[in-house]
Structure 1
């Protein structure tokens, strides 16, 4: 997830290999890099020798995928992008949900330490990771929607070509799968585990009961001996 969030903002390896969508053969679009890659924070070009991201634009929080807005022109932009805000909102909400999922994933990482010694910690970790799973699922769905539709729109124009960023797709969907597995395991840990504190309390209670029972027997024996001596 961190690799995804840092793409476009960090230009060093291996972060410079990640992008959501690449549009090529777009030299006829004014102000556009040819090819252009949409990352989490910026639109980048491509280094011809390495094939990595290069010549990235200014980092923009919640960068939207909206070619007319991105390139500040509608000339030679595929018709599917003209007069619609669909791609804009799909990509903007993806950005927000990705960050929310990341925050709850980090919280779950810390609460996971409590799950080692407490059933409540297991349930709490399961809850936080389940929230991360919810937002990560929305993120993956929105990302798939705008990238696949955007790729198809460029291809249908006839003059342009486009491809998906396989690595970011893999990271995004793999993170969702990991959250799902973690949620199940944390909940199982809470249901099947035991609290070390309660276990220690039970042990102390057992020792106390045995001690009291022993004291009672000793007292009874002392009284019996006293009666025998008196008689």
Structure 2
């Protein structure tokens, strides 16, 4: 049996809510020592011996923290990757250091993560808009169409954000390892990021299916109505010469 647009919209809202929760876990990482926020970071690396750095550094969304997302530095928007150490540091991987961010960050990592950071916020904004328009989708196919379009924009922004995040921190991990240091990407942050993307993708598809579901049901109903044998009428002459209508089922 075909699902109604209300059912599609309800399923879309469930997946969208899951995507939003995972995005919030990423953005709020480093704020508290409560799990899973204490375990959510993009990169963990051995930064001992680098000028002005902690023995262990973990890169979160607004912060660079120590082990376990403790001893975090000040919160910065679009945090430069090189804020884990001081300007013109010694013993840092040469690939990561440059003239940006107070002589802490190279050109590549400065711009890759700044754009990734911004696209995460854009994706969050459009997902929140989709969530509120989703209540209209529960009532009408027009609401499903509007929600589907906004969700599609959110999916585009989140695709760019997650791709840039992955490229930035995988390359940083490789730079630390090439420099003889231990480094690993954060499984929670990457899991939440790609999980949020997958949930948003499913939600977008369901919103689009909800846009067409009732229309298809209506067409089937109309075809069935027209397919029924309707009563036909024709006239015949009565015995007194007058024409009368005779109905045939």
Q: Which residue of 2 aligns with 1:155?
A: 177
Given that 1:137 and 1:176 are in contact with CA atoms closer than 8 Å, whether structure 2 keeps it comes out as: yes
Aligned counterpart, 2:102? none
Equivalent in the alignment of 1:79: 94
Which has the bigger relative contact order, CA under 8 A and spacing at least 6?
2
Q: Secondary structure at the match of 1:112?
A: helix
Q: CA deviation at 1:70?
A: 4.4
Distance in 1 between residues matched to 2:27 and 2:199, nearest whole Å: 17
CA 1:193–1:99 in 2, change beyond 3 Å: closer, same or farther?
same
Q: What is the CA–CA distance in structure 2 between the aligned matches of 1:167 and 1:135, rounded to whole Å? A: 21
Structure 1 SS opposite 2:183? strand
Q: Find 1:120's aligned residue among 142, 145, 156.
A: 142
How far the C-alpha of 1:179 sits from its partner, in A, is 1.2
State the alpha-carbon separation in 2 of the partners of residues 127 and 163 from structure 1. Answer: 37
Q: Is the 8 A contact 1:8 1:59 kept in 2?
A: no
* Distance in 2 separating the partners of 1:167 and 1:92: 21
Does 2:69 correspond to 1:62?
no
Computing the radius of gyration from Cα coordinates, the structure with the larger value is 1
**Structure 1 residues without counterparts, runs of 5 or longer:** 47-51, 199-231
Alpha-carbon contact 1:9-1:59 (below 8 Å) kept: no
SS in structure 2 of the partner of residue 66 of structure 1: helix
Whole-angstrom distance in 1 between the partners of 2:209 and 2:54 = 50
Which of 129, 134, 138 is the equivalent residue of 2:151? 129
Question: Equivalent residue for 2:58?
Answer: 37
1:16-55 alpha-carbon deviations (Å, 9 max, x no partner): 211000111x221021111000100111001xxxxx2111
Measure how far apart 1:178 and its partner are. 1.1
Deviation at 1:148, TM superposition (A): 0.5
SS in 2 for 1:22: strand
Q: Is 1:147–1:164's contact at 8 Å kept on the other side of the alignment? A: yes
Structure 1 stretches of 4+ with a deviation exceeding 2 A read: 8-14, 69-74
Query: What residue is the counterpart of 2:29 in the other structure?
Result: 7
- For normalisation by structure 1, the TM-score amounts to 0.77
| Structure 2 unmatched runs, 5+ | 1-22, 99-105, 219-249
Q: Is the 8 A contact 2:148 2:208 kept in 1?
A: yes
